[in-house]
């Protein structure tokens, strides 16, 4: 009787095929070998230990721009920007987020797994240069990730009302933007 077991590579290949991966721009920093070698799992205990988040207001689908804005207006010298992939809803998405110590500073929705690396100052300068080409704070018909009544939610973005809060954490009681992250 011959062994009819399925090989591990076939099992792994099938399971990997069930997970989505959004395409990445050919010019993305992620595709540089020196960047990719630095990448690591940010939250290795993701399946059983909840993440420690700081949520800040951000334009929907503009994580890189949001992170540059958060970083540039933060007075906290320990804040850093990360780039990589975030896993959510069965798909890996190219994503940018900030870190304050071991806390994930998220400008969009929360994700289950974060895999990436902290940007070097040169990489940050390149990313910020691209982000400065457009002022998304004046975008019309955009949507905003924010906190409302303790929940992360998307609302219509109004530049007059929301521009000052972009990249800032909201006070859970007053719903007003805080002066500093993580207070």
Q: What is the pLDDT of residue 55?
A: 93
Written as six digits, the tokens of 163 are: 């521009």
CA separation for the pair 113, 41 (Å, rounded): 8
Q: What is the pLDDT of residues 45-78, one digit of tens each?
A: 887 888 889 999 999 999 999 999 999 988 788 9
> Among 169, 134, 126, which residue's Cα sits nearest to residue 28?
126
Per-residue pLDDT at 3 exceeds 70: no
Residue 112: pLDDT band (50, 70, 90) is very high
Residue whose structure tokens are 């992360």: 152
Which residues, other chains included, contact 100 with Cβ-Cβ below 8 Å and sequence gap of 6+?
A: 54, 76, 78, 79, 181, 182
pTM for the model stands at: 0.86
Q: What is the mean pLDDT of residues 71-95?
A: 90
Return the minimum-mean-pLDDT range out of 5-9, 64-68, 102-106: 5-9
What single DSSP character describes residue 30?
A: G
């Amino acid at each position: 009787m011959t062994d009819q077991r399925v090989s591990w590579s076939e099992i792994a290949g099938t399971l990997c095929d069930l997970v989505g991966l959004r395409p990445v721009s050919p010019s993305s920093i992620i595709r540089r070998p020196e960047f990719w070698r630095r990448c690591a799992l940010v939250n290795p205990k993701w399946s059983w230990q909840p993440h420690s988040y700081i949520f800040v207001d951000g334009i929907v689908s503009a994580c890189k721009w949001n992170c540059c804005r958060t970083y540039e207006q933060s007075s906290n010298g320990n804040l850093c920007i990360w780039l990589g992939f975030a896993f959510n809803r069965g798909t890996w998405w190219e994503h940018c987020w900030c870190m304050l110590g071991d806390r994930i500073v998220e400008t969009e929705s929360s994700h289950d797994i974060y895999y990436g690396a902290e940007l070097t100052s040169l990489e940050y300068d390149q990313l910020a240069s691209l982000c400065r080409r457009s002022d998304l704070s004046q975008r019309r018909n955009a949507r905003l990730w924010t906190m409302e009544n303790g929940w992360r939610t998307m609302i219509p973005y109004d530049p007059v009302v929301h521009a000052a809060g972009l990249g800032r954490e909201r006070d859970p009681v007053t719903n007003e933007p805080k002066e500093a992250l993580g207070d």
